[in-house]
Structure 1
């Protein structure tokens, strides 16, 4: 059954059965120290503009609307790892024996988060660091512009996990002339560097959620790392992109977020898939067996 759960994700995780989820994707706050909110913008052709587009054409950016002060969400933590650790311990507990966790973060925190995940899952269960590379947004002038995110892939078992590479989309060769016409037409499977544009600020995919991730990224993860009929969990669900990817490919989803604004976006976006709506508080959570503070050995 598809579910949208409004509540603290730690309480929700503690109420899930052990080994009941085949794939987990999470995109937690990045601890940027900023308040995340969405601007509505448009670009206008202007030779004196602040942006350069295709063919060297210049454009001017206009802000149409911005969320008022106090909305969005605060992305600053005194103890970021202390916030994440109990949630990821629960994620390890609820993950199925052949399941995978995808943890989406950026360059500021990825090193610390990887050490923590190595402790929880075991270094032998670390499979890949995927680099999502894009080319959009402001350009730094005092350092190389940061135009990538990091996605850490861990499995419950170091050797037994779902990886259906033949289900992946294919991408163009960077030098098609070197591989021949047939291979160039077919394309190749992706590597651990995924070039994919961000969600366009003015595109149809945009939902209004400040940190929405592209559907193409989530569809690749869902298709390759789960099977039809399995359950996909996102406990920092935001705009619900993980749920859309899961439902479009025959998986069920559990989307969790404590933000009423995020839940409202998901309810509208996922209505076609008839999810059950729930609200969970700490007082209502079910008692379940808990994982010990240290990591469990792979089964």
Structure 2
């Protein structure tokens, strides 16, 4: 399989993506900065005024008839940090939804601080019938607290643009070993099993070909599974917070056309070194 095209854009993802056509991506992955309380550089922008009915294909009614704005207001009373974080994230999710093809899928990668808030608000924003999965990526690395259960997982929320026609190919996904191979036939044990919604996968090893040194780098195995299941060769894949470029490296190797956006010049240099064939928007090489 020939490598797919990779286009890299340096800039604010909200501004960059507004230049892309409606419905132009089959798969969109967002791995935003987690709301840890640390300072982060970003541009806050309020979402458009909304109505409790449907606006631009986005559902604006929450649970028990509460509209989206009311639901967000309720959550604000529980955590003022979340309101600031959601003010950053909401317009980007709205933009991602516009860019999704009718067969498209959106993956939002979060940690335990925001996943529960985001699930409730995304159901109101996009509609509960568009929710496909809550994926748990579990790993076992790093310091462990002795005063509570150590938090060793991330959450990936999965929403589809159209529940009647979204693309999902389980046969294309790499299989994994059975946890108890003695309980299945030798043939099944050799073949392996389809992954469930809980993914045990190590973080990026400290040594090895994947390691770029970028602090928030995600392992290729996690992105490979996402790209294999929710896109086909030739499809366009978008990463709003590209970082080290793992989405692009995986998508390109699988014959997809990857579009990567990040506002960090360091990320741009890491991606260019990792993917020498990538085209940088606005550069002479494009």
TM-score, normalised to structure 2, is 0.80
Instruction: Select the residue among 5, 20, 25 that pairs with 2:29.
Output: 25
> Partner of 1:79: helix, strand, or coil?
helix
Task: Give unmatched runs, 5+ long, in structure 1.
Answer: 37-75, 281-299
CA distance in 2, matches of 1:144, 1:204: 32
The aligned residue for residue 133 of structure 1 is 138
Q: What do you get for the CA RMSD once the two structures are aligned?
A: 1.7
> Partner of 1:183: helix, strand, or coil?
helix
TM-score, normalised to structure 1, is 0.77
Once the two structures are superposed, the pairs formed by residues 234-253 of structure 1 within 5 Å of their partners are 234-253=239-258
CA distance in 2, matches of 1:206, 1:77: 32
The aligned residue for residue 270 of structure 2 is 265
Which deviations, in whole Å up to 9, do the C-alpha atoms of 1:174-200 show, x marking residues without a partner? 111111211111110000000000001
- 1:115 CA drift (Å): 2.0
CA distance in 2, matches of 1:77, 1:154: 21
Instruction: Select the residue among 185, 196, 199 that pairs with 2:201.
Output: 196
CA distance in 2, matches of 1:116, 1:201: 36
Quick check: which has more Rg, 1 or 2?
A: 1
Structure with greater proportional helix content = 2
The aligned residue for residue 112 of structure 1 is 117
CA distance in 1, matches of 2:137, 2:38: 22
- 1:116 CA drift (Å): 2.3
> Partner of 1:34: helix, strand, or coil?
coil
- 1:275 CA drift (Å): 2.2
Task: Give unmatched runs, 5+ long, in structure 2.
Answer: 41-80
The aligned residue for residue 285 of structure 1 is none
CA distance in 2, matches of 1:2, 1:77: 33
CA distance in 1, matches of 2:282, 2:116: 34
1:215 equivalent in alignment to 2:192: no
- 1:77 CA drift (Å): 7.8
What is the number of residues matched between the two proteins?
A: 239
The aligned residue for residue 275 of structure 1 is 278
